[in-house]
Amino acid sequence: MTTRTTTPRCHAMTEDLSALEWQARVDLAACYRLIELFGWSDLIANHVSMRVPGFEDQFLINPFGLAFDEITASSLLKIDLDGNQLSESSYQANKAGFTIHSAVHQVRHDANCVLHLHSLDGMAVSALEEGLLPLFQSSMFLTGDVAYHDFEGPALNLEERERLQRDLGERHVMILRNHGTLTVGATVAEAFVRMHMLERACAAQIRALSTGRPLCRPSEEARLHTEKMGLNSMFRYYAPQAWPALLRKLNREMPGYDS
């Protein structure tokens, strides 16, 4: 990856951006702050990316070294699929983040936003042989759309991108074995709401399994019906309804992301 390191621009940066790119930056910065607010961050690790509107080969990602509650719209980095940093900053992108996110953006033109976490419950489920089980409504909205990718070590080898692309295919949720979780969406809202549902499903599964009690499983008919809802319009409908409420919560509890 090549970079240009200069003093980062802040508010004046908006003068050089299209309205669409600025809105993408605001939404992506909000997503980082929400991840912190919900307790899913991992110091300065993890990453969320958003394709730059109008550019298939460019995306926005966090500056490696900033905590998620420090990220603002103007501090986000713009890079291309070759790893060239296109925005001025004293920070660089996380190399593993570039590998994972560029892999998805290269081939999934519907996946404008890619969200990757190392949450405790997500990691726990990633280490279970059975993966995500269709035990709860929130699980079943996702289980028909989950891919799995085997652990290859930290994602620093660009050759892994081909295998990430193959394993994800056309799905919108991926469990990275022994590593964490990943969701994609046409919008930041869609990717975040998918991850929120995945996080709750993983947490509920770990709690249920920890009891050691026999599990009540849904009927095959009910499972398939719920999975079909998750595969169709459920997230495209629900995410735009939930996102404004999430932003209102963020404005109350962790404002400043839109600067």
pTM of the model: 0.91
Q: Is the pLDDT of residue 195 over 60?
A: yes
- What pLDDT was estimated at residue 8? 38
- What pLDDT was estimated at residue 131? 98
CA distance 129 to 5: 44
- What pLDDT was estimated at residue 159? 95
Domains of the chain in sequence order: 17-253 (3.40.225.10)
Find the mean pLDDT for residues 92-120. 96
Cβ contact 68:52 at 8 Å: no
| 236-240 contacts, C-beta under 8 A, 24 or more apart | 236/186, 236/190, 238/193, 239/185, 239/187, 239/189, 239/190, 239/192, 239/193, 239/194, 240/187, 240/189
Q: Is the pLDDT of residue 9 over 50?
A: no
Distance from the Cα of residue 253 to its chain's centroid: 21
**Residue, of 91 and 176, whose pLDDT is higher:** 176
- What pLDDT was estimated at residue 16? 58
Q: Is the pLDDT of residue 85 over 70?
A: yes
Q: How many CA atoms lie within 13 A of 217 on its CB side?
A: 9
Q: Is the pLDDT of residue 25 over 70?
A: yes
Q: What digits encode the pLDDT tens for the residues 39-82?
A: 999 999 999 999 999 999 999 999 999 999 999 999 999 999 99
CA distance 123 to 125: 5
CA distance 209 to 192: 26
Percent of the chain exceeding pLDDT 90 equals 89
Find the mean pLDDT for residues 24-36. 98
| Unique residue bearing structure tokens 């404005």 | 251
17 confidence band (pLDDT: 50, 70, 90): low
